[in-house]
Amino acid sequence: MLETPKFPVLAWAENSTDRHMMQLALEQAERAGKRQEVPIGAVLVHEGRVLAQAGNAPIHSTDPTGHAEINAIRQACAQLNNYRLSGACLYVTLEPCIMCLGAILHARVGRVVTGAHDSRFNQSLKHTVSLVAHSPAWHACQFETGCMAEESKKLLTDFFAHKRTQQKAYRQSATPPNKQEPV
């Protein structure tokens, strides 16, 4: 079973508040991309107030846990001076990995709205959630997927296409002069 009532994974139902918050997350993703980080952004909202906005930063923070979701959760917890974020909503431009899912559940975030569906690291959000679905330790969390999915996916696709172009150019320029092609 890939889904439980405790962790429903639903298609996003269009609304302007979610769209606005996801736009803020996309801006954080763009900033991360400009720093050569994978362009993923997150915004955490609690009681209608934006508590945190963050982008991916594992490279610049030299911290493998420096994912956008975790950075936003850390900021929000510091704002509230509480490690629990009950009732909060997290907006993130890509479905969370298992590490971020763990942080989301530990923080007791009540709702997560995601942008892009696919990830080469996750089979799907439903699969990732199924890894923890049968543990009684977790509090309920609702997931909604597909908010501004195309915009989120385009950021990632463009980022990795640019990276591949840079790598190809580097490999071509790194060919030693004495290794020229035969005429």
The whole-angstrom separation of Cα 30 and Cα 146 is 18
The whole-angstrom separation of Cα 135 and Cα 6 is 10
69 is catalytic: yes
Rg (CA), the chain: 19
Which of 27, 37, 47, 69 is labelled catalytic?
Answer: 69
Residues taking part in catalysis:
69
